[in-house]
Amino acid sequence: MNLLELVFRNSFRKKTRFTLTCLSVVVAFFLLTTLAGIDHALNASVSNSNQYRLMTSHKISITRSLPINYQQKIKALAGVENATYVSWFGGYFQNEKNQLAVMAVDHNTYFDIFDEYKIPAEQLTSWKSTRTGLVISQSIADKYDWQIGDKVPLSSSIWMNKSGSFNWEFIVSAIYQRQDNTTDSKRIFFQHLYFDKARAYARNMTSWLSTQIKTDVDDEQVSKAIDKLFNNSDAATRTTTEQVFIKEQAQQFVDMAMVIKVVLIAVFFTLLLIVCNTMIQVNRERLNETAMMKAIGFSSLSLVKQVYLESLLMLSLGAILGSLLATLTLSQVQLQFADFLPGIAIDPSHYLTVFFLVIGAAGLCSLFPAITIKRLIISETLGARA
Amino acid sequence: MSTLSVAPAKKLNNIILQDINKSYSKGDNNVVVHDKFNLAIKSGDFVAIMGPSGLGKSTLLHLMGGLDRPTSGHVEIGGQRIDELSESKLTRWRADNIGFIFQSHHLLPVLSAQGNVELPLSLTPLNKKQRQQHAANALALVGMADRAHHFPKELSGGQEQRVAIARAIVSDPQILLCDEPTGNLDRKTADEILALLKKLNNDFGKTIVMVTHDLKAAEYASRVINLEEYIALGVEAQGAQIPQEQQSILVGE
């Protein structure tokens, strides 16, 4: 018999209570880990954004277009390295369930600024010279089994072409690679020139512009200069850093995450109270045994250590099971929501957070029993039958 | 460390309670349990403390065992003032010197008889094998070797008390403090337990102080203190009541 064995045996003394309390820990850590995975996806694009890129959209709403000629005016500003423009096409393949992030981009400048897309040089050249060319990601190519040279029909729910159809024809010209697994890996690009000539309306207009600034200039200053440039025009602009822009776009998700986080914190603290209460109850039931152990020479510290280890065992088991279950669930969710919310993953540092949470929660749950043990008067507890 | 040593392998552990005052608060009242109480017990003695409830018999036992502290006065065991020890030192001292036997055995239900007896040894530097050996020896001594792997719920009241005695003696303390050790037992079983205590006193030289209401139990002791009469004698006379050979303890000879 050693103390660890005693802790283990004491833990499973009331199996139903242990199992139910442990299950509540499982649920809390399942929620925590699941949220961490979703949070990772929501923040992935933001953390991957470039600090030297500015995004310019219509001052009123991003749904309003800007003149394409803004590109040249922005380029002429001091501190600007390069500028490009992008139009949102949206689109889907075959049916609306297969939604895709399709964008029309300026083929001359876009990939110079967004150099995180790794495209073989010959494919990039081929795409630039193919008016209806598409640049797709490896994951899209794998998913739909598309290869270079394949003709691909894509439909847009926004843009009608001059023939009065919402169906557009493309040819796969290039496939890009990305190291990470973010929203960008689901993006598809085609030439804005083709888009502009083929669409039925809104010619010479674009959804937004991206500006690459020089590394030694203040982004805020350049942003102000851009907006000032168009302040008195029909299409006034609002320029922010790429990080702020992406954050704003994801605002609805982030807000949702905030709500989930608040709910989760509430759930987690309720769980702590449950485990705390269990440990207090356990300690109260064993007061006589605790007093006896103190009488035969166990120090208060040693007895508190036992309570701590008991809490730790319960929380660890729950945390391991909950986190494991969430990790398995997320791996399935990731497959199902790959297009809608890519980047669902558990950062390894999350497990470290779980580890420290368990250590801390065990300490918190042992606090009240520790005070009771410390204050316990042996003679009173064992009954001074004078 | 041997399982049980025969006296006087350890140094003499005379018990001295000198000018003990013990009181506690109960609501707004201050209840005085002992007032200038004196008692000396010689190492190796078997003393039964008797008397009606409410006189502070168990309190005396708790004071001797370091489970409680006097309001004033000295508690000296083996030449050491235990009332002056810090809480942690007192805990360590109890582990080394005192074996407790309670009316309610307070065995841990999750541990077998062997596990319960090994419990105090987990505070010693003994390895697992040594602990098991010591516990087995103690269980054999109390006649419980064949029940070593039984859990408390599988044992009778007498058997549980035997295991509690084995737990009390396994780390070889010189002093055994017994609070109504036979209070929950039938006569036959009580006699067996008392015979066992007598054996521990005779064969191993354990100093035993036993609080009891049982006149028959008191017959096993070498000295019986009727606390009611003892207190009635007064402070000066209490000293005179202490046997001649033990009076020297009080005066420090």
Give yes or no: residues A78 and A213 share one domain.
Answer: yes
Which residues, other chains included, contact A9 with Cβ-Cβ below 8 Å and sequence gap of 6+? B110, B111
pLDDT higher than threshold 70 for residue B243: no
* Cα(B197)–Cα(B208) distance, integer angstroms: 8
Give yes or no: residues A25 and A112 share one domain.
Answer: no
Q: B-contacting residues of A 349-378, CB under 8 Å?
A: 377-378
CA distances from B200 to A129, B35, B141, B173, B197 (A): 104, 33, 9, 11, 5
Mutate to test the interface with B, among A15, A373, A385 (most CBs of B within 10 A): A385
pLDDT higher than threshold 80 for residue A198: yes
Q: Compute the average pLDDT of residues B185-214.
A: 88
Predicted complex: ipTM over 0.90:
no
* 3-class DSSP assignment, residue A190: strand
Residue of chain B whose Cα is closest to the Cα of A287 = B106
* Cα(A195)–Cα(A131) distance, integer angstroms: 9
pLDDT score at B75: 92
Which of A292, A299, A384 is nearest residue B58 as measured by Cβ atoms?
Answer: A384
Residue A274 lies in a domain: yes
In this complex, do B65 and A289 lie within 8 Å of one another by their Cβ atoms? Answer: no
In this complex, do B68 and A382 lie within 8 Å of one another by their Cβ atoms? Answer: no
Length of chain B equals 253
pLDDT higher than threshold 90 for residue A371: yes
**Residue B242 binned pLDDT confidence (cut-offs 50, 70, 90):** low
pLDDT score at B6: 46
Which of B91, B106, B111 is nearest residue A6 as measured by Cβ atoms?
Answer: B111
Q: Compute the average pLDDT of residues B73-78.
A: 90
Mean pLDDT of chain B: 84
Q: B-contacting residues of A 3-42, CB under 8 Å?
A: 3, 5-6, 9-10, 13
Chain A CB contacts of B120 under 8 Å are: 296-297
pLDDT higher than threshold 70 for residue B5: no
pLDDT higher than threshold 90 for residue A243: no
Residue A55 lies in a domain: no
Contact between B62 and A384 (Cβ < 8 Å): yes
pLDDT score at A310: 93
**Residue A253 binned pLDDT confidence (cut-offs 50, 70, 90):** low
Contact between A342 and A185 (Cβ < 8 Å): yes
The whole domain housing A337 covers 3-46+252-382
Residue A54 lies in a domain: no
The values of phi and psi at residue B181, to 5°, are: -65, -20
Residue of chain A whose Cα is closest to the Cα of B55 = A386
In this complex, do A6 and B179 lie within 8 Å of one another by their Cβ atoms? Answer: no
CA distances from B13 to B7, B8, B16, B18, B97 (A): 10, 10, 9, 15, 9
Q: Which of A208, A235, A262 is the last residue of a domain?
A: A235
Chain B CB contacts of A378 under 8 Å are: 62, 67-68
B52 part of contact set with chain A, CB < 8 Å? no
Q: Is A225 exposed, middle or buried (0-12, 13-18, 19+ CB in 10 A)?
A: middle
A379 part of contact set with chain B, CB < 8 Å? yes
Residue A7 lies in a domain: yes
Q: Compute the average pLDDT of residues B90-118.
A: 91
* Cα(B77)–Cα(B71) distance, integer angstroms: 17
Residue of chain A whose Cα is closest to the Cα of B132 = A1
pLDDT digits (tens, 9 = 90+) for A181-194: 554 567 899 999 99
For every residue of A143-155, DSSP letters joined together read HHT--TT-EEEEE
In this complex, do B119 and A382 lie within 8 Å of one another by their Cβ atoms? Answer: no
B212 part of contact set with chain A, CB < 8 Å? no
* Cα(A105)–Cα(A111) distance, integer angstroms: 9
Q: Compute the average pLDDT of residues B167-188.
A: 87
Q: Which of A350, A348, A377 is nearest to B59 (CA)?
A: A377
B160 part of contact set with chain A, CB < 8 Å? no
B91 part of contact set with chain A, CB < 8 Å? yes
Pairing of strands A205-206, A167-176: unpaired
Which residues, other chains included, contact B20 with Cβ-Cβ below 8 Å and sequence gap of 6+? B34, B36, B37, B38, B39, B63, B70, B72, B73, B74, B75
Q: Which of A235, A265, A293 is the last residue of a domain?
A: A235
Which of A6, A378, A386 is nearest residue B33 as measured by Cβ atoms?
Answer: A386
Residue B179: both structure tokens together: 């609070």
How far A181 CA lies from chain B's nearest CA (Å)?
A: 52
Mean pLDDT of chain A: 87
Chain B CB contacts of A294 under 8 Å are: 91
Residue scoring higher pLDDT (A249 or B129):
B129
Phi-psi region of A375 (alpha: psi -120 to 50; beta: other; left: phi over 0): alpha
Residue A244 lies in a domain: no
B95 part of contact set with chain A, CB < 8 Å? yes
Contact between A262 and A254 (Cβ < 8 Å): no
Give yes or no: residues A199 and A165 share one domain.
Answer: yes
Give yes or no: residues A219 and A257 share one domain.
Answer: no
The torsion angle over the Cα atoms of residues B98, B104, B107 and B109, rounded to 10 degrees, is -170
In this complex, do B120 and A296 lie within 8 Å of one another by their Cβ atoms? Answer: yes
Residue A246 lies in a domain: no
E strand or H helix at A259, and its extent? helix A251-285
Domain ranges of chain B: 15-250
Give the other-Cβ count within 10 Å of A264's Cβ: 17
Q: Could you tell me what percent of chain B has a pLDDT over 90?
A: 34
pLDDT higher than threshold 70 for residue A151: yes
pLDDT score at A32: 85
How far A367 CA lies from chain B's nearest CA (Å)?
A: 20
In this complex, do B123 and A384 lie within 8 Å of one another by their Cβ atoms? Answer: no
Give yes or no: residues A118 and A215 share one domain.
Answer: yes
Q: Which of A235, A264, A294 is the last residue of a domain?
A: A235
Show the 3-state SS of chain B: CCCCCCCCCCCCCCEEEEEEEEEEEECCEEEEEEEEEEEEECCCCEEEEECCCCCCHHHHHHHHCCCCCCCEEEEEECCEEHHHCCHHHHHHHHHHHEEEECCCCCCCCCCCHHHHHHHHHHHCCCCHHHHHHHHHHHHHHCCCHHHCCCCHHHCCHHHHHHHHHHHHHCCCCCEEEEECCCCCCCHHHHHHHHHHHHHHHHHHCCEEEEECCCHHHHCCCCEEEEHHHHHHCHHHHHHHHCCHHHHHHHCCC
Buried-exposed string B163-199: b where 16+ CB fall within 10 A, e elsewhere: bbbbbbbbbbbbbbbbbbbbbbbeeebbbbbbebbbe
How far B19 CA lies from chain A's nearest CA (Å)?
A: 19
Residue A192 lies in a domain: yes
A289 part of contact set with chain B, CB < 8 Å? yes
How far A380 CA lies from chain B's nearest CA (Å)?
A: 9
Give yes or no: residues A65 and A24 share one domain.
Answer: no
Contact between A287 and A376 (Cβ < 8 Å): yes
pLDDT score at A222: 94
Q: For chain A, how many structural domains are there in total?
A: 2
Instruction: Classify B15-250 by CATH class.
Output: alpha beta
Q: Which of A327, A255, A361, A278 is nearest to A32 (CA)?
A: A327
Q: B-contacting residues of A 294-313, CB under 8 Å?
A: 294-300
In this complex, do B102 and A292 lie within 8 Å of one another by their Cβ atoms? Answer: yes
